[in-house]
Amino acid sequence: MRIAIRNGRVIDPASGHDAIADLFIADGRIAAIGAEPPGFKADRTIDAHGLIVAPGLVDLCARMREPGAEGALKVEMRAALAGGVTGVVCPPDTDPPLDEPGLVRMLRQRSREAAGARLYPLGALTAGLAGEALAEIETLHEVGCVAFMHTRALPHDNSVLLQAMRYAKTFDLPLWLRPVEDTLAGSGVAAAGPVAGRLGLPSVPVAAETVALHTVFELQRAAGNPRVHLARLSSAAGVELVRRAKRDGLPVTADVGIHHVHLIDVDIGYFDSNYRLDPPLRSQRDRDAIVAGLADGTIDAICSDHTPVGEDDKLLPFGEAAPGATALETLLPLVLKWAGRAKVPLVRALGKVTSDAARVLGEPTGRLAIGAKADIVMFDPSVPWRVVPEALVSDGKDTPFAGHELEGRARFTLVGGEVRFERR
Amino acid sequence: MRNPQLNSNGELHHLLTIEGLPRAIIERILTTADSFINVASREVKNVPLLRGTAVFNLFFEHSTRTRTTFEIAARRLSADVFNLDITRSSTSKGESLLDTINNLTAMQADMFVVRHATSGAPYLIAQHVAPHIHVINAGDGRHAHPTQGLLDMYTIRHYKREFANLRVAIVGDILHSRVARSDIHALTTLGVPEVRAVGPLTLLPSGLEEMGVRVCTRLEEGIKDADVIIMLRLQNERMRGALLPSAQEFFRNYGLTPDKLRLAKPDAIVMHPGPMNRGVEIDSHVADGAQSVILPQVTFGIAVRMAVLSIAASSQRMQ
């Protein structure tokens, strides 16, 4: 299908393009930006006046709940499209975990059938995510896993982590790690500090993140410098350690969850379990350091960390509630909100969820280039809308932004040149 | 953020924590408790204030002492009291906290007195009950034990009259103590100029200075010239991990003995929320000595709880 998108403000972070221009799609790819190709007969013309035309968002972490909940993938994929997300990286902490090639094949097949966003599965680094034996990461890579992750915390046993790094380095496969030392994190549910102190909540000290980061960097050096991506930084001290590691030349990238760009521990208020997140929300100083880390490139990307939680699992006292929030549909407006507050030009801000995220992923996506697959989002950057949990597409309804008014919403989402989402 | 304890008239509808409670409300509770002290010494110990009110004691965490004093307080107000001991195992059999509450509401409860092992549980309950129902926090995790805080203040006021010139030391496992947190909020709200938290670093939470507290890691420094010493129980069941080597070493360094007590003012009072671990945080000679007001605390506790129940019950519906 040939599509002409006219009069939109075309923003492509990868090339720095930010101007009103037309964009032409043919055979699922971008045929031209700007001048109409000679003889181009559009099957559909979309008037993008007032809209921004950008690469579809690449979300470095969104849980699709499959394997696990039958039929959930379709729903979460629709949520992704509604959020303008065309590429979703799903972590391996599914049920069962993604440590078997058969499961990965099945998941990719289901994803193709769902005709939603593109799926980039992360394979389990260890069998069963138990942190003891290696998973067959080379084979998993063969069937489509882009990288390998140990979720929630570092593997308990440092020797396992070191061997996993060496093995991954053999095949030049990247490791994604949550920089959390689990004995220090303990049963903490909130960040150590005055808020946890007042509320009497078991806390996670900053050392849980900094000790983990030190461990990762030392083992990286010992293992011949495999590529490591650090998932979900939360502290100022953590950001600074990553900054130094990059300066020292370690092949390291990092991301932050969108909620940690905006929220802090005080927002927990009266034990509101919508603010029960993992990693926990830290102080204003930490948030400021995260914003600075995004500005200077220490933090490469922002992800949604989309975690649909059953309502019953949130209607519990704070410490017992399941951590996480639904975030595919709030990612875009929250990125715009951060860009506005931090005075980051859109062409750079959007990079954190498009070209920079794609670079972390190592996939040719997240950009509007001639010949590239036409994965595109067209959004109204200033339309106000109220976050009504029941009206969200995702099965996950719990978000700290419930009832908030946000600005910016996807109007059209295209994957491979096909309009897969359209908001009236 | 609207204080979830107060209704739109600023009246006390729930009692969840002392933090954020207006000073005037605390003082009203103490004054009301004065009138109930006299009730206890009469022949007929009951007043009809809560006649017809159904008070449900919902204890998700075992407690005989607190539950009994709440029961006595409610009965002295002529309320109908129902005790529910919901142990961990039955809730883990499937019924969620809110399901339990809904079932009890259907049984025409007017007031829930709740003790729970998880900080914040009473807030969740208060958020979900019908507007006419009152929730009284009888202790949630490490977070708060507001009636204990109030009865501690009543005790201090009884023996010391004014709060404005006092030095108060709270000693022991403050990290895990909801009593300590409630006492701290009450003392600072009532204008006590010096509140000290005394304990080893492993038993002190972060953020004490932000709460207006001076941190002391040595007992001698902490109780020097103190007017009030509040000793906390070393709570074995709450401790996880390598926080202390032994009860003996704790007693050597933080146990209140007659010798150590001499560092405080000669007319200092010694308090303890109970139950005491004799020989762990407090020496028997001190517990039973002339400066101990531990038993009067219990008596005052009944009057204070009567005050809390009657004040909450008299407030208008939550809007």
The residue assigned the tokens 């996880």 is B240
The rounded distance, in Å, linking the Cα atoms of B164 and B166 is: 6
Side chain identity, residue B144? A
Chain B residues touching A269 at Cβ < 8 A: 1
Side chain identity, residue A165? M
**Per-residue pLDDT at A46:** 97
Instruction: Kindly indicate the confidence band of residue B70, based on its pLDDT and cuts at 50, 70 and 90.
Output: very high
CB-based contact B5:B13 (threshold 8 Å): yes
The rounded distance, in Å, linking the Cα atoms of B301 and B148 is: 7
Burial class of A271 by CB neighbour count within 10 A (0 to 12, 13 to 18, 19+): buried
The residue assigned the tokens 């950009």 is A367
Which residues touch A138 (CB under 8 Å, ≥6 apart)? Answer: A171, A173
Q: Can you tell me the ipTM of this complex?
A: 0.86
Interval A10-40: pLDDT, tens: 999 999 999 999 999 999 999 999 999 999 9
Q: What are the strands, taking DSSP E only, across A151-259?
A: 175-177, 190-191, 203-204, 228-230, 252-257
Specify the DSSP class assigned to residue A198: H
> Which of A186, A269, A317 is the closest to B118 by Cβ?
A317
Rg (CA), chain A: 21
Chain B residues touching A199 at Cβ < 8 A: 119-120, 143
Interface residues from chain A to B (CB-CB < 8 Å): 186-187, 192-201, 203, 269-271, 273, 312, 315-320
Average the pLDDT over each of A151-155, A258-262, A382-386, B150-154 and give the range with the smallest value. Answer: A151-155
- Is the pLDDT assigned to residue B43 strictly greater than 90? no
Chain A residues touching B146 at Cβ < 8 A: none
Interval A273-283: pLDDT, tens: 999 999 999 99
- CA-nearest residue of chain B to A188? B240
The rounded distance, in Å, linking the Cα atoms of A131 and A162 is: 11
Interval A343-370: pLDDT, tens: 999 999 999 999 999 999 999 999 999 9
Q: Average pLDDT for residues A54-61, to the nearest whole number?
A: 98
The rounded distance, in Å, linking the Cα atoms of A204 and A185 is: 5
- Closest CA–CA distance from residue B24 to any residue of chain A (Å): 22
Is the minimum CB–CB distance between B61 and chain A shorter than 8 Å? Answer: no
Interval B92-144: pLDDT, tens: 566 788 888 888 888 889 999 999 999 999 999 999 999 999 999 999 999 99
Query: Is residue A300 among the annotated active site residues?
Result: no
**Per-residue pLDDT at A275:** 97
Interval A80-120: pLDDT, tens: 999 999 999 999 999 999 999 999 999 999 999 999 999 99
- Is the pLDDT assigned to residue B90 strictly greater than 60? no
**Per-residue pLDDT at A395:** 96
- Is the pLDDT assigned to residue B41 strictly greater than 70? yes
What is the average pLDDT score of chain A?
A: 97
- How many other CB atoms are there within 10 angstroms of residue B259's CB atom? 10
SS3 track for chain B: CCCCCECCCCCECCECCCCCCCHHHHHHHHHHHHHHHHHHCCCCCCCHHHCCCEEEEEECCCCCHHHHHHHHHHHHCCCEEEEEECCHHHHHCCCCHHHHHHHHHHCCCCEEEEEECCCCHHHHHHHHCCCCCEEEEEEECCCECHHHHHHHHHHHHHHHCCCCCCEEEEECCCCCCHHHHHHHHHHHHCCCCEEEEECCHHHCCCCCHHHCEEEECCHHHHHCCCCEEEECCCCHHHCCCCCCCCHHHHHHHHCECHHHHCCCCCCCEEECCCCCCECCCECHHHHCCCCECHHHHHHHHHHHHHHHHHHHHCCCCCC
In angstroms, how far is the first alpha carbon of chain B from the final one?
15
The rounded distance, in Å, linking the Cα atoms of B73 and A343 is: 59
pTM: 0.92
- Closest CA–CA distance from residue A236 to any residue of chain B (Å): 18
Question: How many residues does the structure list for chain A?
Answer: 424
Q: Classify each residue of A364-393 as buried b or exposed e, where b means 16 or more C-beta atoms within 10 Å of its C-beta.
A: ebbbbbeebbbbbbbbbbeeebebebeebb
Q: Is A424 helix (H, G, I), strand (E, B) or coil?
A: coil
The residue assigned the tokens 């909130």 is A190
In angstroms, how far is the first alpha carbon of chain A from the final one?
21
Is the minimum CB–CB distance between B140 and chain A shorter than 8 Å? Answer: yes
Chain A residues touching B182 at Cβ < 8 A: none
**Per-residue pLDDT at B100:** 85
- How many other CB atoms are there within 10 angstroms of residue B211's CB atom? 18
The rounded distance, in Å, linking the Cα atoms of A225 and A174 is: 10
Helix (H) or strand (E) segment spanning residue A139: helix A137-142
Kindly report whether the peptide bond that precedes residue A67 is cis, defined as omega within 30 degrees of 0.
yes
The residue assigned the tokens 């929630």 is A152
The rounded distance, in Å, linking the Cα atoms of A420 and A85 is: 11
CB-based contact A37:A31 (threshold 8 Å): yes
Instruction: Kindly indicate the confidence band of residue B3, based on its pLDDT and cuts at 50, 70 and 90.
Output: confident
Side chain identity, residue A403? G
Question: How many residues does the structure list for chain B?
Answer: 319
Q: What pairs with residue A302 in β-bridges?
A: A256
**Per-residue pLDDT at B84:** 85
> Which of B19, B206, B208 is the closest to A192 by Cβ?
B206
**Per-residue pLDDT at B89:** 47
Which residues touch A409 (CB under 8 Å, ≥6 apart)? Answer: A332, A333, A379, A380, A383, A385, A423
Binary contact (A201, B207; C-beta < 8 A): no
The rounded distance, in Å, linking the Cα atoms of A320 and A323 is: 9
CB-based contact A422:A411 (threshold 8 Å): yes
Best of B1, B88, B96, B123 to disrupt the A interface (most A CBs within 10 Å) is B123
- Closest CA–CA distance from residue B95 to any residue of chain A (Å): 11
Helix (H) or strand (E) segment spanning residue A53: strand A52-55
- CA-nearest residue of chain B to A266? B1
Chain A residues touching B97 at Cβ < 8 A: 315-317
**Per-residue pLDDT at B238:** 47
Q: Average pLDDT for residues B40-67, to the nearest whole number?
A: 87
Binary contact (A199, B120; C-beta < 8 A): yes
Q: Provide the token pair at A311.
A: 């309502």
Interval B9-36: pLDDT, tens: 899 999 999 999 999 999 999 999 999 9
Interval B236-278: pLDDT, tens: 754 556 788 888 889 999 999 999 999 999 999 999 998 999 9
SS3 track for B76-106: HCCCEEEEEECCHHHHHCCCCHHHHHHHHHH
Binary contact (A200, B208; C-beta < 8 A): no
Q: Where are the alpha helices (DSSP H) in A321-379?
A: 331-341, 346-349, 355-361
Burial class of B2 by CB neighbour count within 10 A (0 to 12, 13 to 18, 19+): exposed
